[in-house]
Amino acid sequence: MARAVTSQRKAINTAIAWTIGFLIFFPILWTILTSFKTEGTAIADPPVFLFFDWTLENYAVVQERSNYMRFLWNSVIIAGGSTLLGVIVAVPAAWAMAFVPSRRTKDILLWMLSTKMLPAVGVLYPIYLICIELGVLDNRAALVIILMLINLPIIVWMLYTYFREIPGEILEAARMDGASLRNEILYVLTPMAIPGIASTVLLNFILAWNEAFWTLNLTAVDAAPLTAFIASYSSPEGLFFAKLSAASTMAIAPILILGWFSQKQLVRGLTFGAVK
């Protein structure tokens, strides 16, 4: 029998959850608020939280100084392209690991995941030289491939977890009905794993969108995404906190909106198979 939860305990748990959520979200909230301050108010001591003269001047300056839409379009292409390419590569790989028995599957998965533990700076130099040699430095297609390879272990691991929750008998029945391997993956496996695939796509799109190390080191002008857009407001003359916050708010706004509207799908995908 499930234990009854008292109203008092439920209220305490709710208060704790809201407190933790607020603490996690507070840096983003502070950035958004700072973007509406003057530079003097932004560096005031003690800090001013809500009661200040709100202004849109920082956003106007950022728009005049930078081509925001070009940076935004580069971010969409790089994040979306790397995620889509990663899913195309990862679905067959995760299918093979989930439904083709092998004693080495777990070892392979752990090895793939271990590559994420390597500091990115450790492979920056060779990748930088390869990009120069191939003439693809500051190129969106090159960044799409690089970010896809970086996030591929996570994509494969997540899809493998979701595919393992699908009964193998369903795929066997499709084979008995004459389905080819391609049709089995496209028309039987993929539709059944849509929640898991959707959450994988969302998470990896966010990871690619927020990637700063590779985008800052492998781009200059043509392929520079929003991470470079933010970094451009750190200058030798000093940090302009209000304008930097405005640029940061403009950069994170699309992904915040995407996360807000897709939160149900994201939660559904992350709990896919958790309840029998």
* 154 vs 262: CA distance, rounded Å: 20
Cα 152 from chain centroid? 12
Give the rounded percent of residues in the chain with a pLDDT score beyond 70: 92
Interval 116-133: pLDDT, tens? 888 888 888 899 999 999
Which residues are 133's β-sheet partners? none
Band (pLDDT 50/70/90 cuts) for residue 276 is: very low
CATH number of 66-232: 1.10.3720.10
pLDDT at 121: 87
Count of CB atoms situated within 10 Å of the CB of 96: 16
Tokens 């994988």, residue located? 200
Interval 6-40: pLDDT, tens? 788 888 888 999 999 899 889 999 999 999 998 88
Average pLDDT of the residues in 204-233: 89
Which residue ranges make up each domain of the chain? Answer: 66-232
